[in-house]
Structure formats: C-alpha cells, structure tokens
Chains A and B, each alone.
Chain A
C-alpha cells in the first residue's frame, strides 16, 4: 500500500493564524481529495498540512438576496453546496454540477476551494463558476484581494495564488435565465464540459475540461460565425479522454444540437 511521507499538522480555528502559516512547505488542506493522493504519489511533498476545515470563516454559505449573490466558503464541500436550499433555488445549475462531481465520497469531503485551487483541467466547477461570472476572494497575511475565476485559474494545475495565499470564498451572482451545463464524461473525470447562457440576444458559451483552463465567449445570439471562430480557437488537450479533433467535434455537435447553429 502506498504510504504517505512524514507530515506535520497545523490546525487552528483562527484564520489569521492559518494565514501566517501557509507557505510552500505548509500546504493548505481541506478535503484532501486531491492533496492526499498527490502526496501518496510523491507529487507533493509539503512538510506540513495546514487544516482549513476548522476555520469558521471558510465554511459558510451566505446568500444575499438583495444583491442576488451567494458567497461560498472555500472549505464548503460539494455535498453541502448541492444540498443547500438557497443554492438549489438560486444556482440550480451549480448545485446540479456539484451533485455530480466525482462520486458520493468525493462530494462528502472535497471542497469548492480545493477543486478550484488544484486546477485539475478535467473538472466541472471552474467552468460553471466562470460561466456564472463568479469572483474569488483571496486572503493572505498581507490582506485580501478579489479576482475573477478567469484570473484565478491560469493553466492546468496552475492558479494565480502565491504560496502565502489561500482562496477564502467565491461569490456567485444568481443564475441568469437560460443557463445549462452539459458534460461528456466517459472516464473518471469529464472529457468536456459546456456551460451555456442563452438569451434572446446573447449566447454565452463556456467550455471546460477539454482545455487547459475553462474558456468563455460572449456572442450575439445567432452569431454562428463567431461561434465557429471561438471553437476553432480553443486549444484542446490531447490526453486519454481523446484527441483534440474528437473534442472539437463533440463540442460542435453539442452546440449544434443546443443552439441550433452548427459552428
């Protein structure tokens, strides 16, 4: 059996204490669904893990009906997110996507923050949150900054967080009408995810899983040429879930079916 390397633990309920600790040798740790296997495989070798789960400030789901937003703490699990009544009401697509991440065990322990910070390209939440125009609150001992999902996820397994920063929460505007999320998942992780927001005059298309990072395009409704250009521009990854041509073809077919305009 795989054995983890010797590991220290920093555990505190105090966010400031946690922020003072996190650095390249002290890895933020919440659900552990990505970090623990990565340590088991020797891909990550922190001296210690810094447990974020007992920090109250990272655990909440706060719904602001007036502004039409929900703020989701980074340590909220997929299950809590998808079961939350207000999230189901105001962010049904996000709730549904969270309810299908990984498997039931991953959903009980895996967190929204962990999902985004690990930046595994073949995932769902980044795509859906980008489509929703979510913003991320990033904290460090030095202070707080706000960033878009687009700026947070910069590549495959790569975020814009520095080693002293943690993701504290994401703030998500309530779901607009006409939103959907579809994914093709033949393997353990999705091959392709497509979030659409379709209104009378706008097509907003966000593609995830098949590219290094989720990518969004906003087009005028009916702009088939623009859509085709967007799909052509995407750099699809070549991995065991399929070659780029395959992913492009599946995306075109899906967009053709749902938008009625073959790109």
Chain B
C-alpha cells in the first residue's frame, strides 16, 4: 500500500433530529460517540458481543448494536436513541407500555429493549407473539424474567394498532 490510511474521518449525521458534524477516530464506536461525545448516556453498553442488546439504537430505522458499530459508518445516517423517542413531555407508546407493564427493574437493559421494540413495531406494526419473541429474544434482561417485557411489547403493539385505526390508516 501507498500512504497510510486516515485514522479519523469527518461524519455528518442526524442524531435524534439534531445535525451533527464532527471528526471521529475510526476506532470510535457508535456507543462511545453517543455516550462520551454527545452526552447521550441513555444508551448502555454491556456484553460488547452483540448478544445483550443493551446498546441497541436505530440507524436509518434498523436496530444495530452501537457498541460494535463504528461511528465512521454514521456518515449520512440518521440515528435514533432512547432520548429521541419522546415528543416533548409525551412518551412514545412503547415507553408508556414498559412503565404500565412493570417491564423494568434495574433499568440498564431498558433503553435497548425499548429501541428494539420500536424497531419491531415500525417494521411490523401487526407483530404477533411469534414476531415479538423472534425480535425481542435478541436482548437480555437479568432482572424481570422477561414475561413483563413480552407483555409490554404486546401492549404497545395493540395500542399502536388501535391508534392507527383511529387515524383511519
């Protein structure tokens, strides 16, 4: 090879609706960018092997493991984190459902579960039990025993479906 490759790069991205332009080291993960450079500490890091899902954020609508995704890949992308879900004081229906169904205890896995549920219900608004199991099985929770989380996602799905009917969709 000729000249050594650049170890940092400029990215322009939209994070929770806010335009971000910054120079990032190539080795910087999306989670570190969010947590350390943008102060968005709602995204949590745990297993760092894409198993636990605590770090789940949406990139162009798709759920990703932000702990093992590189920030340099965000150039041109839109990112949504747990901090970007609520509209002012109004929580997203998935957030409300997690509170209503007691689907959290220590809360460390909660942002990741919520983002995964949002991704699921965006991709598959009529998600049934099997879709919910398939998508949510990729996140770990050590406190709740999962049953309340499944209930919360089911509840959010039915509320979103009801809202869609009201909107005449």
Contact = CB atoms under 8 A, between A and B. Distances in A.
A/B: CB atoms within 8 Å of each other: yes
A8 B51 CA distance: 26
Interface string A27-50: 000001100110010000001110
B26 A109 contact: no
Interface stretch (B63-71, B97-105, B146-154): B63-71
Interface residues of B, number: 37
A65 interface: no
A10 interface: yes
Contacts of B63: 104-105, 108
Contact of A9 (B67, B72, B134): B72
B55 to A, nearest CB: 9
Interface in A104-124: 104-106, 108-109
Contacts of A103: 50-51, 53, 137-139
A11 B9 CA distance: 10
Interface in B1-53: 1, 4-7, 9, 25-27, 29, 32, 45, 48-51, 53
B9 A40 contact: no
Interface in A1-41: 1-11, 21, 23, 25-26, 32-33, 36-37, 40
Contact of B27 (A1, A7, A51): A7
A200 interface: no
A135 B135 CA distance: 31
Contacts of A142: none
Contacts of B1: 21, 23, 25-26
A11 B8 CA distance: 12
Q: Is the interface of A mostly helix, strand, loop or mixed?
A: mixed
Contacts of B78: none
A106 B62 CA distance: 10
A105 B138 contact: yes
B69 A109 contact: yes
Interface of A: 1-11, 21, 23, 25-26, 32-33, 36-37, 40, 47-49, 51, 53, 79, 100, 102-106, 108-109, 188
30 contacts: A1-B45, A2-B48, A3-B27, A5-B27, A6-B25, A9-B5, A11-B9, A21-B1, A25-B1, A26-B1, A26-B5, A32-B73, A33-B50, A36-B68, A36-B69, A37-B49, A37-B50, A47-B5, A48-B5, A49-B26, A51-B73, A79-B62, A100-B134, A103-B51, A103-B137, A104-B138, A105-B53, A105-B116, A108-B63, A109-B62
Interface of B: 1, 4-7, 9, 25-27, 29, 32, 45, 48-51, 53, 56, 59, 62-65, 67-70, 72-73, 116, 119-120, 134-135, 137-139
